[in-house]
């Protein structure tokens, strides 16, 4: 029973790795081709990712700021 389970787990892992590798290859091809043919499209992709990350970071910063305020209040 356990043997089958680990087997399954291993094959799952391989699938996942293969999927990841495939995604990477596709991303690379996309970057090379679109970066060459359509620089603005490429900029859009990179820019959107950047916007999403920065606004997310801003929210996390707010969490940290509020936690900081709460901590100083506790200390004093």
Residue 42: CB atoms within 10 A of its CB come to: 17
Site for other proteins in 9-28 (CB under 8 A): none
**What is the rounded CA–CA span in Å between residue 30 and residue 32?**
6
**DSSP line for 39-62:** HHHHHHHHHHHHHHHHHHHHHHHH
Task: State which of residues 1, 4, 59, 75 lies at the interface with other proteins (CB under 8 A).
Answer: 59
Task: State which of residues 9, 17, 27, 39 lies at the interface with other proteins (CB under 8 A).
Answer: 39
Residue 11 or 65 with smaller CB distance to other proteins: 65
- Footprint of other proteins (CB under 8 A): 37-41, 43-44, 47-48, 50-56, 58-63, 65
């Amino acid at each position: 029973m356990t043997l089958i389970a680990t087997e399954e787990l291993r094959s799952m892992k391989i699938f996942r790795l293969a999927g990841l590798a495939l995604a990477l290859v596709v991303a690379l091809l996309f970057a090379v081709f679109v970066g060459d043919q359509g620089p603005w499209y490429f900029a859009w992709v990179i820019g959107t990712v950047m916007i999403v990350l920065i606004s997310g970071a801003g929210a996390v910063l707010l969490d940290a700021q509020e936690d900081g305020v709460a901590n100083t209040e506790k200390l004093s």
